[in-house]
């Protein structure tokens, strides 16, 4: 079955960077788009961006342009989300999400990781 296992909780200082990983299993890794969605504690969902199956193309929400980098490592079936210049408003759960359908970017967000809490302290 499809599993997305994310890295553990992080506590970072204001201005630092964080890299969250998401190891995928139970499917052909190179066939699917992955997205990252975040959720501040007690708040709603916010889409950050996506990466294509080969890792050669990314689309980021304008809000995060210049601060976020999404990559993937085919050899370990892992996707990564790197967020820099952290501020208190970045404190949130970060979810990696795999699309339901292979090859096409339908934005059908069918499989979610367990979430990684990133806490930014001043």
Partner 1 sequence: AIQLTQSPSSLSASVGDRVTITCRASQGISSSLAWYQQKPGNAPNLLIYGASSLESGVPSRFSGSGSGTDFTLTISSLQPEDFATYYCQQFNSYPLTFGGGTKVEIK
Q: Among 8-16, 56-64, 75-83, 84-92, which window interacts with partner 1 (CB under 8 A)? A: 56-64
User: Residue 57 interacts with partner 1 (CB under 8 A)?
Assistant: no
Pairing of strands 10-13, 116-121: parallel
The minimum distance between CB 45 and partner 1, in angstroms, equals 4
Of 16 and 46, nearer to partner 1 (C-beta) is: 46
Name which position in 17, 57, 59, 104 contacts partner 1 (CB under 8 A).
Answer: 59
Closest CA relative to residue 70, chosen from 109, 108, 107, 34: 34
C-alpha–C-alpha distance, residues 4 and 23, integer Å: 6
Name which position in 13, 44, 56, 122 contacts partner 1 (CB under 8 A).
Answer: 44
The minimum distance between CB 106 and partner 1, in angstroms, equals 7
> What residues from 94 to 113 belong to the interface with partner 1 (CB under 8 A)?
95, 100, 106-110, 112-113
The minimum distance between CB 90 and partner 1, in angstroms, equals 17
C-alpha–C-alpha distance, residues 93 and 107, integer Å: 20
Q: Are the C-beta atoms of 113 and 52 separated by less than 8 Å?
A: no
C-alpha–C-alpha distance, residues 121 and 86, integer Å: 9
- Tokens 């999400």 correspond to 97
Retrieve residue 9's tokens: 């909780």
The residues binding partner 1 (CB under 8 A) are 35, 44-47, 59, 61-63, 95, 100, 106-110, 112-115
């Amino acid at each position: 079955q499809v599993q997305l296992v994310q890295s553990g909780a992080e506590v970072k200082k204001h201005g630092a960077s964080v890299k969250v990983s998401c190891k995928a299993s139970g499917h052909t890794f190179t066939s699917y788009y992955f997205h990252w969605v975040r959720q501040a504690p007690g708040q709603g969902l916010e889409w950050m961006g996506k990466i294509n199956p080969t890792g050669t193309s990314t689309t980021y929400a304008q809000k995060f342009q210049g601060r976020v980098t999404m990559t993937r490592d085919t050899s370990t079936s892992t996707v990564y989300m790197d967020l820099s210049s952290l501020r208190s408003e970045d404190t949130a759960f970060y979810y990696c999400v795999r699309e339901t359908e292979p090859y096409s970017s339908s934005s059908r967000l069918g499989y979610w990781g367990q979430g990684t809490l990133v806490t930014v302290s001043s």
